[in-house]
Structure 1
Amino acid sequence: MRPRQSIAEMFSTFLQFDADRFGGWVYDGKLRRSIQNCLGQISQTQHSENFWAIYWHKNWQTQPSSLTLGHLSAYLQETCYWAAQRTIPQFASVQCTLSDCFQMAIAEVPKILKGCDPDQRASLKSYGTVAFGNIIRDALRQKQEIDFCNDWALLLKLSRKQLQESLKSSGLTDEIMARYLLAWKSFTDGYILTKSPKARKLQKPDDATWDIIAQLYNRDRLTQLNPSGSECNRETLEKWLLFCAKQARSYLYPVVSSLNIPKAGQADGEWQDDLPDTSNQESLLADLIAAEEAETQKNQQQEIYNLLVTTLAKLPPQSQQLLQLYYQQGLTQQQIAKQQEIQQYQVSRQLSKTREFLLLAITKWSQEKTHISPTSNVVKHISAVLEEWLQNYFRNLSAKES
């Protein structure tokens, strides 16, 4: 691979593959004009690679945009390429090309930017090297696991939510989908009753197990399905379950096809050659995504507000009064202790317990709704946001009452 030399090239060119190998660097016109304008406005003494990496990263953190993301995605092209090349040999049994792994990892640049702290010693490239490797390894491990699973093992690995989403994507009616979900539940319950499931060693149910699965389905359909429908035999249930496995595999673990694959029956030309040239146009998709993300964020903020208001109402009257005295009336802990005729440390302890109760409610919500793991940094951030919310909420209450 030819390394990029100039700052303009580092922050405005993208890697092009040729038969799953490095094929060269391609300029993005908009990014090139942007970085050249910036270079002309800032003194030559600050034209270092690290300076511009930090510059664009901080710009992205304070005001994310497609432009800043584009510059940083361009900058991390080499890092992602070498991470993919080092990681793929660790999974010889998985059929995945270098270009596929590269594209899969580079798509996660926003996630990497969120995780990287510019105030730490590690540079963006150093952090990206580790992060890209982890992303590719996780994806290949998942692919490897699913490739080894037969349909019956896959069905036992699925959650109800995963299967429901997979079936919904196929366009089934609610009535048919309910039958398939009940068949899957009968299968998992029946299989566990008769066997001891072990990963990758699960076999097709035997006749005795099929009898139990059919019995469970025909029993539960009377109470769980509306309409309950007719009784099902093992052949019908097997057909339904195989459909569920096929749909889940294609929906949750789709086959990735590279745009660098040559066209069938042609010596020259790849599928990506048919893509329209949009290098000089604003991305309509990026605008749509930004609008959708803004709407999603607005809805999530309203959900959190409703959650906290509901959780506050569930607090004991003593805790609610304590919050009102502290946040709404602005009393200090010492003043509250004197008014309530208790010790100051008791006020502090009760406030902490009340905040922890609210914090736990938000943390559980974030896990269920946004799938954010409650790491120490995440909890610390949520705690700070909660404190600000409590101050604003009770301040607004005071304004309404006055």
Structure 2
Amino acid sequence: MRPRQSISEVFSTFLKFEFDSVQSWVYDAKLRRSIQNCLLQIPETKNSEKFWAIYWHKSWQTQPNSLAEGHLSAYLQETCYWTTQRTIPQFGSVHCKLSDCFQLAIAEVPKILKGCDPDQNGSLKSYSNVAFGNIIRDALRQKQEIDFSNDWALLLKLSRKQLQESLQSAGLTTEIIASYLLAWACFEKGYILTKSPGIRKLQRPDEDTWKIIAQLYNSDRLTQLKPPGQECNSQTLEKWLLFCSKQARSYLYPVVTSLNVSRPGQTEGELQDDLPDTNESLLANLIEREETETQKNQEIKIKTVLIDAIAQLDSQSQQLMQLYYQQGLTQQQIAKQLQIQQYQVSRRLAKVRESLLLTLVRWSQETMHISPTSNVVKHVSAVLEEWLLSYFSNPNNNTAQEQ
């Protein structure tokens, strides 16, 4: 896997897997644009990975599920990959793809961000290295236990909460779940009462045990179920318990299918090619909303700065701006009305524009940390001209200016 080189790459690229191995780094366009804009505003941090890790983490703390989470997920790609590669061999008996374990771990980035404070606990990478390892080990231990447990052994290992959550995820009604939980509790009690000493491997209960389980259920249902329901024989209870085992197995460790695998029975194309063609992902929508809000706030601040600057102009300059931008007079017409030469009008207009442009550039440099390069000044000048036309064409603004 090629190490990433620049800050822009570190905070905006993601690993692409093919056949369970890394193929390349892939850019997220909006994350790339975001970090590049930030580097333009704070150019001295162009090589400071630690600075941006702390910056985005602090930003995430105030705005979870925002652009910051995408940057940090990109940042932790390498850490997650190497942790996954080290952890999987520890569970040689468990068959699990590296790409699947990687995706399982990287999905927990929000949980990791919540538990880490880079200012107190060292670097985010060091913390996530341990956290990713714990997440993967817990998942593989659970898979190992489930893979090697038969239905009856699994039922005895379950807690009531785990089974209840499994049944709820299956969409069963409260009444049915209560019946299944009671059947499971009677199974536990009946199995323990009849278990022969010295038997290590848990097997299907024998007929005598099933009779005890049925008796316990039919007795307890009268006091523990509302309504108590019908009596159940051992065949019905066995069917219920096997269903419980199946649901718990699929709930506790669902089967993960990579979207990069080939379509069944085809040599070309991947499963992800069949996904609905949506215009924007959830992350893209979040980024767009954040960018729109930021732009609106900036526009309000710029408007305030320029209105204050116009208010500080002398009366002659304000009159000149109104004649040119509000009434749309040409320089010749303005010169005739003010009884001065046309070149004087041109010079005064240029001087006023230069004054406003200088105010706007200084504000951008001090507030947004934008270096006043020639391209930046050229862009700001074009934006200023457009704003002046819009501002003086608004009757409300004109009235306020005259007052």
Q: Same fold judged by TM-score > 0.5?
A: yes
**Counterpart position of 2:87:** 87
The residue identity in structure 2 corresponding to 1:36 is Q
Does the 8 A contact of 1:148 with 1:200 survive in 2? no
In structure 2, relative to structure 1, the CA distance for the partners of 1:277 and 1:13 (3 Å cut) is farther
How do residues 300-339 of structure 1 correspond to structure 2 at under 5 angstroms?
none
String of CA shifts for 1:287-343, please: whole Å, max 9, x gaps.
9xxxxxxxxxxxxxxxxxxxxxxxxxxxxxxxxxxxxxxxxxxxxxxxxxxxxxxxx
Is contact 2:39-2:46 (8 Å) kept?
Answer: no
Alignment of 1:142-161 (within 5 A): 142-161=142-161
1:77 is displaced (CA, Å) by 0.5
Percent identity over the alignment is 76
How far is the alpha carbon of 1:135 from its aligned partner?
A: 0.9
Aligned pair 1:37/2:37, yes or no?
A: yes
Does 2:159 match 1:175? no
Moved more, 173-182 or 96-105: 173-182
Q: Look up the SS of the partner of 1:119 in the other structure.
A: helix
1:95-106 equivalent positions in 2, closer than 5 A:
95-106=95-106
- With over 3 angstroms needed to count, the CA separation of the structure-2 counterparts of 1:129 and 1:248, relative to structure 1, is same
Match of 1:207 in 2: 207
2:84 is equivalent to residue 116 of structure 1: no
Cα distance change, pair 69–278 in 1 and its aligned pair in 2 (3 A): farther
Stretches of structure 2 lacking an aligned partner (at least 5 in a row): 288-403
Question: Is the contact between residue 39 and residue 45 of structure 2 (CA under 8 Å) also seen in structure 1?
Answer: no
263-272 or 162-171: which moved more?
A: 162-171
- For residue 24 of structure 2, give the secondary structure of its aligned residue in structure 1: strand
Over 3 Å counting, the alpha-carbon distance change for 1:65 and 1:210 in structure 2 is closer
Q: Which amino acid aligns with 1:168?
A: Q
One-letter code of the match for 1:160? R
Equivalent position SS for 2:26: strand
Q: Secondary structure at the match of 1:154?
A: helix
Instruction: Tell me the residue number matched to 1:255.
Output: 255
Q: Contact 1:260/1:272 (CA < 8 Å) preserved in 2?
A: yes
Shift of 1:37: 0.6
Give the Cα–Cα distance (whole angstroms) in 1 for the partners of residues 193 and 282 of structure 2.
Answer: 58
Code of the aligned partner of 1:127: Y
| 235 and 65 in structure 1: CA distance in 2 versus 1, 3 angstrom threshold | closer
CA–CA distance in 1 between the matches of 2:243 and 2:16? 39
Structure with more contact order per residue of length (Cα contacts < 8 Å, sep ≥ 6): 2
Offset from partner CA, 1:139-174 (integer Å, 9 cap, x none): 101111111111111111222232223223333344
2:267 aligned residue: 267
* TM superposition shift of 1:64: 2.9
Residue 68 of structure 2 corresponds to which residue in structure 1?
68
| CA deviation after TM superposition for structure 1 residue 44, in Å | 2.6
- The CA distance in 2 between the partners of 1:277 and 1:200, in whole Å, is 53
Question: Which amino acid is 1:111 matched to?
Answer: K
Q: Deviations over 1:340-384 (max 9, x none)?
A: xxxxxxxxxxxxxxxxxxxxxxxxxxxxxxxxxxxxxxxxxxxxx
Corresponding residue of 1:17: 17
How far, CA to CA, are the matches of 1:113 and 1:141 in structure 2?
24
The alpha carbon displacement at 1:125 in A equals 1.4
Which residue type is aligned with residue 145 of structure 2?
E
Q: How many angstroms apart in 2 are the aligned matches of 1:236 and 1:174?
A: 19
Q: Is the 8 A contact 1:29 1:279 kept in 2?
A: no
Partner of 2:195: 195
Unaligned runs of 5+ in 1: 288-402
**Alpha-carbon spacing, 1:282–1:165, altered in 2? closer, same or farther (3 Å):** closer
Q: 2: distance between equivalents of 1:23 and 1:80?
A: 16
Q: Secondary structure at the match of 1:264?
A: coil
Per the TM alignment, residue 101 of structure 1 is displaced from its structure 2 partner at its CA by 0.4
TM-score w.r.t. length of structure 1: 0.66
SS at match of 2:15: strand
Q: CA RMSD in A?
A: 2.5
TM-score (norm 2): 0.66
- Structure-2 residue corresponding to 1:225: 225
Q: Is the 8 A contact 1:263 1:271 kept in 2?
A: yes
The SS at the match of 2:25 is strand
Alpha carbons of 1:127 and 1:165: their partners in 2 closer, same or farther (altered >3 Å)?
A: closer
Matched, 1:242 2:242: yes
Q: Which amino acid aligns with 1:184?
A: W
Which shifted more, 175-184 or 69-78? 175-184
The question of whether the paired residues in 2 share the 8 Å contact of 1:179 and 1:225 is answered with: yes
| Residue 139 (structure 1) aligns with | 139
C-alpha distance after superposition, 1:47-70 (max 9, x if no partner): 311221122122222333420000
Q: How far apart, in 2, do the equivalents of 1:38 and 1:278 lie?
A: 28
1:41 to 1:274, Cα distance in 2 relative to 1, 3 A = same
How far off is 1:277 after superposition?
Answer: 6.1
- 1:186-231 residue CA offsets vs partner (Å, 9 max, x unmatched): 1011112222799983221122221211111121122223443443
**Structure 2: distance between partners of 1:198 and 1:228:** 37
Contact 1:84 1:101 in 2 (8 A): yes
